[in-house]
Amino acid sequence: MTTVLPQDLEPLPPAAELRRQVARLLVIRGSGHLSDGQRRYPLWELENSTLKRLLAEGVGGVILLGGSAAELRLRSEQLRNWSEQPLLICADVEEGVGQRFEGASWLVPPLAVGRLHRSDPEGALSLARRYGHCTGRQARLLGLNGVLAPVCDVNNNPDNPVINVRAWGETAATASALAAAFVEGAQAEGVLCCAKHFPGHGDTSDDSHLELPRLPHGRERLEAIELPPFRAAMAAGCAAVMTAHLQLDALDPLRPATLSRPVLTGLLRHELGFTGLVITDALVMEAITSRWGAAEAAVLAFEAGSDLILMPADADAAIEGLVEAFSTRRLSLEQLNQSLRRREQALAAAGSRAPAASMAPLEGLGELETPQDQALARELVEMSLNTRGHQDLPPGPGVNLIRLDNSLACPFLPAMAPALLRPAAADYRCCLLDARGPSPWSGDAEAPLALDRLPDGPLFLQLFVRGNPFRGSAGADEPWPAVIRQLLRLGRLAGLTVLGSPYLWEALEPQLPSGIPAGYSPAQMPLAQAALLTRLGLAAGSPAEGGFTD
């Protein structure tokens, strides 16, 4: 007769096998570049020797950032060769694969499509679906099988420092419809999509990369605003949901959503009925690391109901902590087995949807971005522009004042960027205002910009401002309305562009006289710069712009 042991007495697998099973639940960070010396963020991106060791020990996933499309193709193949099991290889490509990997399509931020949805819902749905197809197909051809998108947060808070234009909508209805359309398009190409950041990060004024935000809403409000886009993404078959590092006192006053069983198991699993993968947001973020160590954070996340642990602060410590929790029966082996099954089923489902030739041959990467992809990128840029005033800039010499978050890590502003070259052709000298550099402010609330530190002449102001991780603000803390008044009073404002946050443009545009050339683009990449400047009469005057055509 066979004896059936109670679940809590289920025999443990051998220690080595248990460790390999636990390791499969981790997704660690690596560079898209092949060489250790090319890593952009070595604090988070593991060196190759550690990556290779952890994959050999059973770690089941890697999230990549940086490098070219061709490098990504080689890198994904390299990582798979280092592992003896199917890997989840993913990236935060919310704005197309070219957002992270040069040479692929870089598309406008999703909120641009969300705003079109107000006037042309069918057109916006079509664009969102094409956006998904473009992103999913290029991701798969380059070796990714996980797309950490769509952002399902409803950006109904203009002061949100981290979501902003990353959201698909400012209302639950818009975000729901467009996120679902993106999922349908992307997953049809054979990749896993991940709806984030559950249960909703749109109405926060703090950045969880830096601190723990609080969402002060009750269940009725969550049902009306935050949850509908996640429901829609799930109904569209979205393979995964990513957790948010934020506190919802109405659901769990003790722990953030990522570590909360009432949120992940009670709400997401039981009430919403989600049966796919639950992935934590990066556990290396300050909202988590400032309160919990790497081992305990991983255990609490799994205890709450997560399946995959993304970017633990210390991968080895996280594995050891989970092994200890399973060995002491703090965590159940049944939950481990369920998570492993969900992982395997998700990877298998993605593979079943992929065309026979999943990864592009290296010699075929020149055709990665198809004419249809290029047309989509241009169409998205053109439909999202808002311009007024078309007179030429006043004659130079003048000042091209460009405000950036960080001039040292600025992929949208290479040396040949239209935002640099076109004003230069009109004899406007470039001055970069780095938000992380010395303060540009005078201390005078009526005349905040320290103009004595700039050359004389007319001033063309270009503001690259949007919500971004680690920025802590979407520009609302900077006195740009007062700067516009100051420059107008002195007769020095030659023109204005805002690239990024629509809320900043909406605050500044009403102040501008009709004769001042000005415009807005939600996108910041060179293609968007070229289109916007052309609309304002600053056409390309040099072949040096190369492929940055409008």
Q: Any idea what DSSP says for residue 247?
A: B
pLDDT at 211: 66
Say what the pTM is.
0.93
Answer whether residue 6 shows pLDDT above 90: no
243: phi then psi, degrees, rounded to nearest 5: -80, 160
Helix (H) or strand (E) holding 465: strand 459-465
Is the pLDDT at 33 greater than 70, yes or no?
yes
Q: How far apart are CA 319 and CA 172, in angstroms?
A: 38
For 486, other C-beta atoms within 10 Å of its C-beta total: 19
Catalytically active residues, by annotation: 209, 281
In this predicted model, what pLDDT tens digit does every residue of 409-465 receive, in sequence order? 789 999 999 999 999 999 999 999 987 777 889 989 999 999 999 999 999 999 999
Instruction: Name the strands in the sheet holding 398-404, side by side, starting at the edge strand that comes first in the sequence.
Output: 386-388, 518-521, 493-500, 459-465, 398-404, 428-434
Residues 6+ away with beta carbon under 8 Å from 526: 412, 414, 416, 417, 418, 419, 545, 548
**Side-chain-side CA neighbours of residue 538 (13 Å):** 32
Phi, psi (deg, nearest 5) at residue 343: -60, -50
The better pLDDT of the pair 217, 276 is held by 276
Distances 383 to 111, 119, 370 between C-alpha atoms, Å: 12, 12, 20
Look at residue 530 and tell me whether its pLDDT is greater than 50.
yes
Given pLDDT bands bounded at 50, 70 and 90, which one contains residue 206? low
| pLDDT recorded at residue 120 | 97
> Domains, the chain, ranges and CATH?
23-354 (3.20.20.300), 385-545 (3.40.50.10870)
Q: Spell out the alpha helix ranges (H) of 236-292.
A: 261, 286-289
pLDDT single digits (tens) 341-366 = 999 999 998 877 766 556 767 766 77
pLDDT at 62 over 90: yes
Cβ-based neighbours of 230, under 8 Å, separated by 6 or more: 152, 195, 198, 199, 200, 241, 272
Give the number of other CB atoms < 10 A from CB of residue 44: 17
Would you say 108 and 167 are in contact if contact means Cβ atoms under 8 Å apart?
A: no
What mean pLDDT is predicted for residues 212-230?
Answer: 91
How many of the other CB atoms lie within 10 Å of CB of 548? 20
